[in-house]
Structure 1
Amino acid sequence: MEPLGDRQQLTELEKMRAGEWFSPRDRELTAMRKQAKAACKALNLAGPEPFKAQQQLARALFGQLGSCYIEPDFYCDYGVNIQIGQRFYANHHCIMLDAATIVIGDDVLLGPAVHIYTVTHPLDAAQRAQGFEQAKPVQIGHRVWIGGGSIVLPGVTIGDDAVIAAGSVVKHDVPAGSLVAGNPAKLLRQRADDPASRVD
């Protein structure tokens, strides 16, 4: 970690948004997470409500939303840092730790129990014990499919039309149109839209 220096002049929220080390124990950040938990609870309890009703609840949670359908239970840290395009679908038990921005394009599918993390902790045990965190944004392009049980780690960009196989751990950027799998996720095919996989 870098010396504090002028960082002491910034609020913890400003540090978080700047990608600097910050303390999530800060009162303002704690209040924001509490508000997001309440919004997540309302969204999860809504169940199979009419589409428009779910959109209203989702708009109260996310920073930006085109349209979505989200199966319960869904959880996030802040909500306001999540930007979602059109026709987004998340299967059951998806989690987004959005201390940094998570930007999701149009026509994105998340399988069950997909986790998207923007937060990391110090490797130094003493600093980690003080509760410091650092946030790095995640960007997911259009028409991406992330298979069930996959984990997307901080700072990753996933290109348009990519496919992430179920159970993958994505720690590096994923090229557009590619198919990746494994832990860590590795390239299996440059073009995921192979004619053999098309629906006739």
Structure 2
Amino acid sequence: MYRDLTGGNRTHPKEGGPSFALGHRLFRAAWNVTWAVFGRWTPAPLHGWRRTLLKLFGASLEKTSRVYPGVRVWFPPNLSMGHHATLGPDVICYCMDRVLIGDHAVVSQRAHLCGGTHDPDHPDFPLIAKPIVIGSHAWIAAEAFVGPGVAVGEGAVLGARAVAVRNLESNVIYAGNPARPIRERKRV
């Protein structure tokens, strides 16, 4: 047994027990219903409307940030987006811990930002949440995966379908699974 991430009761997640307190789960349920009804399907140009919904549920978004249709945000209070930051269509933002997206950073369509994992060596298989930081001017390309605790350096590029499980250096282009450096990024 272990204590859940919100300080609630001790649970058995390996046996189907919750990892988060009831209040947290009810908040997420209300968010998911609101997003499904009022946000997820809305036309692409309605960035302001989707920003408003996210902010009502606790996200920290600059007024020039863009969230496209189909994006799935697990827990809005853990999402922070800078000026002109973008979450492209159908991005999965599994923000069990903080996800910080810097100014002018782009997370392209169907990319997956995953802030949680489990301890495979612990008998109770507890959930572990770690923050993700995407630096300014970074680009997470289509269908790429960024794992828990990863920091993507300023101006770094994670190529399409690449998998980042370790930090990415600034101004370097990465590709593959696991992501490997390809070359330095030329800044214009």
Per the normalisation by structure 2, the TM-score is 0.84
Q: CA 1:107 to 1:90, structure 2 compared with 1: closer, same or farther past 3 Å? A: same
- The structure that is strand-richer by fraction is 2
Instruction: Find out whether 1:64 has 2:60 as its counterpart.
Output: yes
- Mean CA deviation greater in 34-43 or 143-152: 34-43
Q: Which has the larger displacement, 77-86 or 30-39? A: 30-39
Distance, in Å, in 2 between the alignment partners of 1:156 and 1:52 is 28
Aligned-partner residue type, residue 156 of structure 1: V
Q: CA deviation at 1:146?
A: 0.8
Structure 1 residue 139: Cα displacement: 0.6
Task: Please state if 1:136 is matched with 2:130.
Answer: yes
The counterpart of 1:87, out of the listed 60, 84, 104, is 84
Q: For 2:156, give the aligned amino acid.
A: A
In the superposition, relative to structure 1, how do residues 175 and 127 fare at CA in structure 2: closer, same or farther (>3 Å)? same
CA-CA distance at 1:179 after TM superposition: 0.5
Distance 1:155 1:185 in 2: 15
Q: Which runs of 4+ in 1 moved over 3 A?
A: 48-52
Q: Relative to structure 1, is the Cα distance of residues 69 and 14 closer, same or farther in structure 2, using a 3 angstrom cutoff?
A: same
Q: Relative to structure 1, is the Cα distance of residues 36 and 24 closer, same or farther in structure 2, using a 3 angstrom cutoff?
A: farther
Query: Separation in 2 of the partners of 1:88 and 1:26?
Result: 31
RMSD: 2.4
Q: Deviations over 1:36-90 (max 9, x none)?
A: 3134322213324544333322322452111322222111221110111011222
Report which stretch shifted further, 24-33 or 108-117. 24-33
One-letter amino acid of the counterpart of residue 81, structure 2: I
**Which residue identity does 2:185 align to in structure 1?**
A
Q: Deviations over 1:144-176 (max 9, x none)?
A: 111101000000001101111101000010011
Assess if the C-alpha contact under 8 Å between 1:39 and 1:60 holds in 2. no
- Alignment coverage as a number of residue pairs: 178
Compute the displacement of 1:24 (Å). Answer: 2.3
Whether the aligned pair in 2 keeps the contact of 1:160 and 1:177 (CA below 8 Å) is yes
Residue 56 of structure 1 aligns with an amino acid whose one-letter code is: T
Identity %: 20
Query: Counterpart of 1:99?
Result: 96
Q: Does 1:75 align with 2:69?
A: no
User: Any stretches of 5+ residues in structure 1 without a counterpart?
Assistant: 16-21
So what's the TM-score if we normalise by structure 1? 0.79
